[in-house]
Amino acid sequence: QVRLVESGGDSVQAGDSLRLSCKASGFTVDYFGIGWFRQAPGKEREGVSCDVSGRGTVYADSVKGRFTITRDRAKNMIYLQMNNLKPEDTGGYYCAADFEASALRCAPTDYDYWGQGTQVTVSP
């Protein structure tokens, strides 16, 4: 059974850093597309960063240079390191897996399995 469980969300001040974690089970993170998405109140879910095995990594323009997506094959974990956080980064953060992984893509509709989310709140 495929399962994704996020953790690491918190309430922080602007300029702080956080690392979100996502524990995967039921599949190996090494071979598929993985992504982090976020959803602010009243807004649609958007792609933050996605990494597709053998096809590369993509970041939203708003987080380039501040966020980094990684995967730990030994622990079957996915991470999102977030530095220099801004109030506009506030939202629910979700990790997801794309089992087709046919292209480097980062739209929510391309991802098959989702975690329950973890909340990040950034105060000015």
Secondary element (H or E) of residue 48: strand 46-52
Q: Is the pLDDT of residue 23 over 90?
A: yes
Query: Could you tell me the two tokens for 48?
Result: 């933050």
Contact by Cβ (8 Å): 50, 105: yes
pLDDT tens-digit map of 31-89: 899 999 999 989 999 999 999 988 999 999 999 999 999 999 999 999 999 999 999 99
